Amino acid sequence: MWFAPDWGEGRRHPLWETRIANFDRIVDEDISFVEPIQESITSPGFRGVPLNYQERRIYHWHEELDRRIGVEHVPERLRVTPLLEDWLERD
């Protein structure tokens, strides 16, 4: 899905064709690595992936959503395991 300012009537700017083609190429590259990545994840040596800052923000949002809904109202299979409490900074 792409978002851009409305360019009015007519064809979209040619730069968008380049952007879309680049995105498709990047996705194809990512997809080509799915099988070896899955094999690595299921190996005995895999112990998890450290979350970068942006991923922690997303994870925190999901944790907070569960809290606001009420964890007891979220089916167990859909709950996010709270992991970030020790990393929260409160005023």
User: How many angstroms separate the CA atoms of 39 and 79, rounded?
Assistant: 26
SS3 60: helix
60 close to 84: Cβ distance less than 8 angstroms:
yes
**pLDDT the model gives residue 35:** 93
59 close to 84: Cβ distance less than 8 angstroms:
yes
**pLDDT the model gives residue 50:** 82
26 close to 32: Cβ distance less than 8 angstroms:
no
Domain limits of the chain? 15-46, 53-87
**pLDDT the model gives residue 36:** 92
16 close to 4: Cβ distance less than 8 angstroms:
yes
Q: pTM (2 decimals)?
A: 0.47
Q: Which residues of the chain have pLDDT under 70?
A: 1
